[in-house]
Structure 1
Amino acid sequence: MKRIAIIGAGTMGNGIAHVFAQNGYNVHLIDVSQKALNKGLATISSNLDRMVAKEKIDKSLKSATLDNISIYTSLSEGVADTDLVIEAASENLEVKLKIFEELDDLCAENTILATNTSSISITQIAAATQRPDKVIGMHFMNPVPIMQLVEVIRGYSTSDETTSTVMEVSQKLGKTPTEVNDYPGFVANRILMPMINEAIESLYHGVAGVSEIDTVMKLGMAHPMGPLQLADFIGLDVCLSILNVMYEGLKNPKYAPCPLLVNMVTAGKLGVKSGEGFYDYSESKKAEKVSSRQLR
């Protein structure tokens, strides 16, 4: 594997591109928006600057990493002659199905098609192609340059060869790949999202406030970040989408999203990305909790 295409220049996409490029791969970063591509490159450069300042890498590696990244607004040009394509577009089934249908037509028959989905069925995505044996999940954790885990999800038809190749590539990135099977939420989110949802339920029912809930989980359970702040960091819309996938896929009421989460997403309070969620992320009030009145 030498040439890697990443579809989507957002938080996950630019993070994945960063890690591959830093490890010497030729990376094609693809997005329909030139603005998103420019922002993605700026984010990678800024993250590399932080690594240089902390003496984790030197300036020459920063330059080499950026030189390894080419940007494209054309999908057909971006995926040409690539060995592995990783889709990191929005967590929307219809969007992903359309992308994989196109990739199946555009990519060489030996190209592995991976998705960074955090909850959507790999088997369902693979069914949109004529190569289900070469479709697999590569669920990186955010922030990608820091977090070590890659959830490697096998669809119903994913071959042993595809799985072993992706496991090996993940290890070459310095990550720890963990193989899991294709069920709603996989492992990470099947366990994480009910915890986050229960924290939101506790707030919704007045058991405790935002900072109090997060403090209990940080100090009592040694979590580095409380569940409500983590939800803000992930994106409340993403949390809601994952819970809906699990609720629909497993038909179990324990996965039903809390009404407070639904209301906040409807109101556009998505967490860090929108500037406000359970905490206020505006410059003047960064990470202060939002008043309980606003959350009811």
Structure 2
Amino acid sequence: MKQIAVIGAGTMGNGIAHTFAQSGFTVKLIDRSEETLEKAILTISNNLDRMVSKGILSEDEKFKTISNIITYTDIKDGVVGCDLVVEAATENVALKMTIFNQLSQICDHDVILASNTSSISITQIAAQVVHPERVIGMHFMNPVPIMKLVEIIRGYSTSNKVTKIIMDLSVKLGKTPTEVNDYPGFVANRILMPMINESIETLYNHVAGVQEIDTVMKLGMAHPMGPLQLADFIGLDVCLSILNVMYDGFKNPKYAPCPLLVNMVMAGKLGIKSGEGFYDYSESKKAEKVSKQFN
């Protein structure tokens, strides 16, 4: 594989593009919004600068990584000549179906089509595609350039050949691929999301406050980040979407989203991306923290 297309230039998409580009692949980063693409390149550049400052990369390696990324606003132009397309759009079933239906029409039949979905059925996605045996899940973890795990999800029709190619490719990216079967939430979110949801229920039922809940899990369970802080980092809208997928898939009330989570998402309190979730990430709060450091 030489050329990779990544569809979606948001948090996961730009992280995936960064990772492939840093590993020497030519990456075609596709998004409908030119502004989102510009923001993505800036984010990648800033992340590379941090790696350079820590001695992880040289300036020359940073330049090569950036030069490996080409941006497109038209999906048809972006996927031309690519060996692999990785879809990293919003966790929305209808949107992903539309994208894969389009890819089926414009990509050659030997192009591997992967989804970075964190919960949606690969078998369902593959049903939109001619030759569904080439469709597979590549669930990267955030932040993609740092986190080592990639969940590799086989759909009902995914071939052994495609699975091996993607497993080997993940190793070349410096990742640890772990093969899982196609059930709602796969492994990571089937275990993680009920814990986050229960943490929100604990807050909702006034058992303890946000910081207290996170402190118990960090100090008592040795988690590097508390579940409520982690939910903010993932995005509360994403958490809600994943829980809804699992609830619909399993018909089990243990996956039903907490009413507090539903209300926060409706109110636009999505976590870091909106500036407020269970914690305050606004510019005024950042300024307050800086002020405390110097006083």
TM norm structure 2: 0.97
Distance across 1 between alignment mates of 2:31 and 2:244: 27
Q: Distance in 1 between matches of 2:46 and 2:98?
A: 32
Matched, 1:223 2:190: no
Q: Deviations 1:17-38 (Å, cap 9, x if unpaired)? A: 0000000001000000100000
User: What runs of 5+ residues in structure 2 fail to find an aligned partner?
Assistant: 289-295
Give the Cα separation in 2 of the matches to 1:93 and 1:247: 14
The aligned counterpart of 2:137 is: 137
Whole-Å separation in 2 of the counterparts to 1:231 and 1:100: 28
- Residue 110 of structure 2 is matched in structure 1 by 110
Runs of 4+ displaced beyond 4 Å? none
| Residue identity in the other structure for 1:65 | T
Structure 1 residue 285, shift from structure 2 partner: 1.6
Q: Does 1:176 align with 2:173?
A: no
User: 1:279·1:287 contact (CA, 8 Å) conserved in 2?
Assistant: no
Deviation at 1:191, TM superposition (A): 0.1
Q: Which residue of 2 aligns with 1:60?
A: 60
Deviations 1:214-259 (A, max 9, x none): 0000000000000000000000000000000000000110000000
Deviation at 1:286, TM superposition (A): 4.0
For structure 1, the 5+ residue unaligned runs are: 289-296
Listed as ranges, the matches of 1:275-294 within 5 Å are 275-286=275-286
- Alignment match, 2:291: none
Match of 1:261 in 2: 261
- How far apart, in 1, do the equivalents of 2:97 and 2:73 lie? 19
What SS class does the counterpart of residue 5 from structure 2 fall into?
strand
8 Å contact from structure 1 (residues 232, 279) kept in 2:
yes
Alignment of 1:1-296 (within 5 A): 1-286=1-286
Q: Which residue of 2 aligns with 1:293?
A: none
1:185-239 CA deviation, whole Å, 9 max, x = no partner?
0000000000000000000001000000000000000000000000000000000
Q: Separation in 2 of the partners of 1:287 and 1:50?
A: 21
Q: Residue by residue, what CA displacement relative to the aligned partner does 1:59-84 show, whole Å, maximum 9, x if unpaired?
A: 00000001100010111110001000
CA shift, 1:284, in A, is: 2.3
SS in structure 2 of the partner of residue 168 of structure 1: helix
Identity %: 72
2: CA distance, partners of 1:169 / 1:260? 40
Q: 2:200 touches 2:260 (CA, 8 Å); kept in 1?
A: yes
CA drift at 1:131: 1.5
Distance 1:44 1:137 in 2: 23
Matched position secondary structure for 2:52: helix
Moved more, 126-135 or 277-286: 277-286
Q: Sort the Cα spacing of 1:90 and 1:240 in 2 relative to 1 into closer, same or farther, 3 A.
A: same
Q: Report the AA paired with residue 177 of structure 2.
A: P
Query: How far off is 1:287 after superposition?
Result: 11
Any conservation in 2 of the 1:281–1:287 contact (CA below 8 Å)? Answer: no
Partners of 1:283 and 1:100 in 2: CA distance: 38
Structure 1 window deviating more from structure 2 (166-175 vs 276-285): it is 276-285
Amino acid at match of 1:42: L
Say whether the 8 Å CA contact 1:115–1:139 is kept in structure 2.
Answer: yes
Q: Distance in 1 between matches of 2:71 and 2:247?
A: 37
Distance in structure 1 (CA, Å) of the matches to 2:139 and 2:162: 15
- The amino acid that maps onto 2:197 is N
Aligned 8 A contact 1:27 1:69 in 2: yes
Contact 1:228 1:278 (C-alpha < 8 Å) held by counterparts = yes
Question: Could you tell me which amino acid in structure 1 is paired with residue 229 of structure 2?
Answer: Q
The secondary structure found in structure 2 opposite 1:280 is: coil
Q: What's the Cα RMSD here?
A: 1.0
